[in-house]
């Protein structure tokens, strides 16, 4: 009974029958964190590590993360690499097209703060958080797949602690 394990001891199950009782928050959070569909795009060298993470060895699928081709389908966007100003305009637009709730994971030094282009990159946005709000930052140039997985697990934790009633900053 996957759901019973995931929703921990706040779930009650009736002796007989298929009825369980839990809180709305827990159910919503559980369903959100278990199928974080991902916007299907990569930006630079970091994207290679992201692809490695999606492939069979690290297997993103087991977190319910499936790349989708349209921003209308997705819950999370992995900003995997160098964000040029030209691309930033597009990312902002894709982000605006995603239905809420939406989450952003910034992967690698470039997306976090401009990375190697911080000083002489006239064309690079020095941190994706200048245009969209970031939930989790993964440092590294590039981060290894383990680090990206750690970031995604952090994001799951964040979603698990959300509440409809309280806003979590």
Partner 1 sequence: MEINEIYNKLKSVFGEGIGELKTDLPVRPFFFADASKIDAVALFLRDEESMQFDNLSCLSGVDYDKDNLAVVYHLCSYALGHQLVVKCLVPKSDPKIKSVSDVWAAAEWHEREAFDLVGMIFEGNPDLRRILLPEDWEGHPLRKDYKVPEFYNGMKIPY
Residues from 84 through 113 that contact partner 1 (CB under 8 A): 85-86, 88-89, 113
Q: Binding of partner 1 at residue 149 (CB under 8 A)?
A: no
Identity of the residue, 74 or 113, whose beta carbon is nearer to partner 1 in the bound complex: 113
* Whole-number Å distance between alpha carbons of 81 and 47: 6
**118, 133, 139, 157: which one binds partner 1 (CB under 8 A):** 118
Instruction: Decide which of ligand SF4, partner 1, none touches 20; Cβ closer than 5 to 8 Å per partner kind.
Output: none
Site string for ligand SF4, 63-102 (x = CB under 6 A): ------------------xx--------------------
Question: Dihedral of CA 119/78/130/112: which sign?
Answer: negative
Q: Tell me, rounded to whole angstroms, the distance of Cα 132 from its chain centroid.
A: 13
User: Shortest distance, CB of residue 43 to partner 1, whole angstroms?
Assistant: 15
* Whole-number Å distance between alpha carbons of 145 and 48: 10
Q: Binding of ligand SF4 at residue 52 (CB under 6 A)?
A: no
Q: Binding of partner 1 at residue 126 (CB under 8 A)?
A: yes
Instruction: Decide which of ligand SF4, partner 1, none touches 147; Cβ closer than 5 to 8 Å per partner kind.
Output: none
Residues from 32 through 91 that contact partner 1 (CB under 8 A): 85-86, 88-89
Under the rule (CB under 8 A), what is the footprint of partner 1?
Answer: 85-86, 88-89, 113-114, 118-119, 122-123, 125-126, 130-131
């Amino acid at each position: 009974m996957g759901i019973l394990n995931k929703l921990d001891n706040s779930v009650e199950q009736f002796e007989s029958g298929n009825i369980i009782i839990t809180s709305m928050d827990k159910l919503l959070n559980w369903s959100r964190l278990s199928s974080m569909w991902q916007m299907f795009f990569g930006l630079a060298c970091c994207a290679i590590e992201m692809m490695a993470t999606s492939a069979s060895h690290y297997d993103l699928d087991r977190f319910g993360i499936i790349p989708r081709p349209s921003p209308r389908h997705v819950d999370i966007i992995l900003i995997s690499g160098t964000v040029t100003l030209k691309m930033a305009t597009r990312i902002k637009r894709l982000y605006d097209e995603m239905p809420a709730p939406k989450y952003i994971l910034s992967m690698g030094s470039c997306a976090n703060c401009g990375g190697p282009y911080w000083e002489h990159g006239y064309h690079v946005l020095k941190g994706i958080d200048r245009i969209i709000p970031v939930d989790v930052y993964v440092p590294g140039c590039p981060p290894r797949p383990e680090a990206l997985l750690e970031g995604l697990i952090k994001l799951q934790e964040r979603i698990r602690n959300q509440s409809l009633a309280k806003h979590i900053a």
